[in-house]
Amino acid sequence: MAKKQLDIKAQADLTRAWAEADYAGVCPVRQTLDSVGDKWTVLVVLRLGVEKQRFLQLLRAVDGISQRMLTVTLRKLERDGLVRRTVLDTRPPTVEYELTVLGNSLLKPIGMLAEWAIENQPAMDAMRAAYDEGKN
């Protein structure tokens, strides 16, 4: 109980700090959301969090992603320093992708988000269904 109170307080402090801070320009949360909040980035990072992967492995592992979007996503992640791209000198070429230290640090928050999603998506579905029902 005391533990939970502390958690709640810590959470309140965190959100308050975020809300009150003046970032003299662009809010870093908005900025990060622009980088990481697109359709595929989180899923690719989560997958790379499991283990180092090659291009086609990722293409098969991340369900529904197109070749084009995987390329675009990986390039952006590489540019942002979250993923390291290694070309092995073989024929045909082999390319490996793995998270950098920075990329790994992102794994914790988005891992929690994934955990939340798995746990609460059914509840959201139910709430949505109930809401729509009430509108009829």
Sole binder of a second copy in the list 59, 69, 80, 98 (CB under 8 A): 80
Residues with Cβ within 8 Å of 68's Cβ and at least 6 positions away in sequence, in order, are none
Instruction: Order across the sheet with 94-99: list the strands.
Output: 53-54, 94-99, 83-88
**Least CB distance to a second copy at residue 93 (A):** 20
- Contact segment (CB under 7 A) with DNA among 22-30, 71-79, 110-118, 126-134 equals 71-79
Q: DSSP label at 93?
A: -
- Contact segment (CB under 7 A) with DNA among 18-26, 43-51, 93-101, 118-126 equals 93-101
Side-chain half-sphere exposure of 107, counting CA atoms within 13 A: 18
Contacting residues toward DNA, per CB under 7 A: 38-40, 54-57, 64-69, 71, 74-75, 85, 92-95
